Amino acid sequence: MTPPLPPGEILILGSGVFGLSTALALTQRPAFKSSKITVVDRSIFPAPDGSSIDTSRIIRPDYASPPYAHLASTAQSLWRTPSSPFSTAYTESGLVLVANTNSSGLPYVRDSFANVKALLPNPGDVEELRGRRAIEKEVGTGGGSGDWGYVNRRSGWADAEAGMRILRGMVEETGRVTFLTRTVTSLIYSSTTSTSTSTPSTSPRVLGAKFADGTSISADLVIAALGAWTPSLIDLRGRAQATGQVLCYLPLSAREQEELNSMPVLLNMSTGMFIIPPRNRVLKVACHGYGYSNPVSISIPTPEPEASRKVSVSIPRTATDDPNLWVPEEGERECRRALREMIPALADRPFTKSKICWYTDTPDGDFLITYHPSYSGLFLATGGSGHGYKFLPVIGEKIVDTIEGNCPEEFKNKWAWREEAVENVVTEDGSRGGKPGMVLDVEMGKGSKL
Ligand SMILES: Cc1cc2nc3c(=O)[nH]c(=O)nc-3n(C[C@H](O)[C@H](O)[C@H](O)COP(=O)(O)OP(=O)(O)OC[C@H]3O[C@@H](n4cnc5c(N)ncnc54)[C@H](O)[C@@H]3O)c2cc1C
């Protein structure tokens, strides 16, 4: 529900890719030149367990969906262009995208191949890899994955934390944004009839946010960009949920780093397993899968606290909550299998660090960028579904377009509030590997036999 624009006070909750890029875009719009903008995050920047902070993220226009392929391609040129502030965080290593024969990931890779061939018509940029031998030759590590795929030599990866530091610096430089380190415990709702729009509405209005230290801030517009934590503060059941994904890290010698410097990103859309070229002598093996849910019984704050009841919601569990957290054996085993297959020389090198990183998954992998249908003054900028980082240079602009009522036509349905809630949120965009339906505690309970 659109509040009167431009709002005098704008409160952005969360300073990941979605929150910070929105803050930057707002400072660049003349319409918002008088708005006071505040960004709140529970962690001092960079948030150690935020999804936007890590050694690396894949930057690719390789999507089965044409609108995402086009938008990612625009973002990619901003990562790549030497005069762009983001280019220092970007490496154009190439991406080898593969699938296993007769698997669910194959149609995604085929559609993606068609989309990037149209986007990158230069011969040599995109090349089909027919069979495992061609894949291994392109990867150059003595290993490979999958049976069919292609290489996009204009894709790459970004040092995720470096990209976020650049973005944060740009926002700070504007001098327009106040940053606060506070933990949001609830939104502030008013149940009174709102007469602030031309058509009076009876929907509760969001008036700001309350924090764990007992303080609060009021705002005319609250933008919820709390990543995987959003569903624990706003009821998104059946529309978005947190799923944990495994990452395992291993150290390399200087020589190994040198040897792997020129490898492309390798991503198998059937298994979900991927390896990004190492950075600072650390190699990461990870899974883009269905992930683990972490269902916990909580009360989601509502406009009528007395009516709120406990419901089951998947919430992130990270090293901030438990410093000894290690991935379940199932996840580590899959990472080991992938390492053995993709870089055989490192097959038995122990993982020295692991992490569970949290996606904000939606049923179809689309972002959730829209006004809340029931609470005026609340805008949702979330639902990254494991692929939001690459859009860092452009997503803030699209979020602010949508705030202004100008959501890009091709994303209007995709980013909208889904009318029908689904029973269980399982992202079915064709890109996920692994087993659906895994529960973190169940997998943890199986112990480690590794
Ligand atoms: C393992 C993994 C691999 C990925 N790989 C890729 C990739 O290769 N390419 C790609 O494009 N994308 C990738 N993604 C997806 C991408 O990283 C995310 O879509 C994106 O970073 C999400 O940004 P965000 O702003 O929504 O969330 P976040 O970055 O998590 O930001 C949310 C912020 O909210 C804060 N917060 C939470 N709760 C509270 C509270 N109560 N009060 C105040 N603040 C709070 C957190 O501290 C955090 O800083 C990956 C994600 C993961 C987890």
Give yes or no for residue 42 CB within 6 A of ligand 1. Answer: yes
**370 three-class SS:** strand
Strands 177-181 and 156-158: unpaired
Domain 9-415 indexed as CATH 3.50.50.60: yes
> What average pLDDT does range 284-308 have in this prediction?
91
Q: How far is the CA of 47 from the centre of ligand 1 (A)?
A: 9
Query: What gap in Å lies between CA 144 and CA 228, rounded to an integer?
Result: 32
Closest CA to 395 of 70, 25, 103, 27: 25
pLDDT tens per residue, range 321-358: 999 899 999 999 999 999 999 999 999 999 999 999 99
Q: How far is the CA of 184 from the centre of ligand 1 (A)?
A: 16
Q: What is the mean pLDDT of the chain?
A: 94
Decide if pLDDT at 90 tops 70.
yes
pLDDT tens per residue, range 198-251: 445 567 999 999 999 999 999 999 999 999 999 999 999 999 999 999 999 999
Domain ranges of the chain: 9-415
Closest CA to 134 of 106, 96, 102: 96
Give yes or no for residue 414 CB within 6 A of ligand 1. Answer: no
Q: The tokens of 107 are what?
A: 């149609």
Nearest atom in ligand 1 to 183's CA: 42
DSSP for 184-217 reads EEEEEEE-SPB-SSSS-B-S-EEEEEEETTS-EE
**What DSSP state is assigned to residue 372?**
-
Nearest atom in ligand 1 to 49's CA: 47
Query: What gap in Å lies between CA 273 and CA 346, rounded to an integer?
Result: 16
Q: How far is the CA of 367 from the centre of ligand 1 (A)?
A: 12
Q: Could you tell me if 128 and 150 are in contact, meaning their C-beta atoms sit under 8 angstroms apart?
A: yes
- The pairs formed by 440-449 with CB atoms below 8 angstroms and a separation of 24 or more are 440/244, 440/292, 440/293, 440/294, 440/317, 440/328, 440/356, 441/294, 443/292, 443/328, 443/329, 443/330, 443/331, 444/328, 446/328, 446/329, 446/330, 447/329, 448/326, 448/329, 448/332, 449/329
Give burial (CB, 10 Å; 0-12/13-18/19+) of 422.
middle
> What average pLDDT does range 18-38 have in this prediction?
97
pLDDT of residue 447: 73
pLDDT of residue 423: 85
